[in-house]
Amino acid sequence: MSHVGIVLISHSSKVAKGIKDIINQMVPNVVVEPAGGTEDHGIGTSVEKILQAIENAYSEKGVLLFYDIGSAMMNAELAIELSEHENIEIANAPILEGAFVASVESGMGKTLEEVKEAAEKAVK
C-alpha cells in the first residue's frame, strides 16, 4: 500500500531528525524525510535538501511538507515549484504535532487531502 510521504523542513538538522525519530517510533510504515539545516550544516534551510527529501518521500499518493518558521515556508514553496512532481502540499500546522498526526493518518492509507486536513485540524 502506498502512503503519503512526509517532509520535515527545519532550520536545524537536529530538530528535523529528532522529529523523524519520534514519528518513526510510532508509525514505522510511513516515509518521513528530514530536510533540516543548510548544505554546510548550519542553521537555515536549503531548497536542495527539500527537493531531495521530496524525491525520497514521494509516492503516488503525494507528499505533505511541514516547516518550522518563516523562510522555511518560502523555500518549501520554491522547492514545490522546482519539483517535477505535482501532488505536493504544505501543511499549515506545527511541525511536530502536525507531522505526527499526518503520519498516523497516512499510515491508515488516507489521501493527501485527508492527511493534510487532519494535521491542520488536530492542533486547533
Is 43:12 a contact under the CB 8 Å cutoff? yes
Is 22:47 a contact under the CB 8 Å cutoff? no
Q: Is 24 helix (H, G, I), strand (E, B) or coil?
A: helix
* CA dihedral sign of residues 14, 24, 66, 74: positive
* CA-based nearest residue to 114, from 10, 34, 122, 31: 122
Annotated catalytic residue, options 3, 11, 41, 85: 11
Question: Which residue reads 514519528 in cell numbers?
Answer: 23
11 part of the active site: yes
Residues 6+ apart with CB under 8 A from 60: 2, 87
Active-site residue list: 11
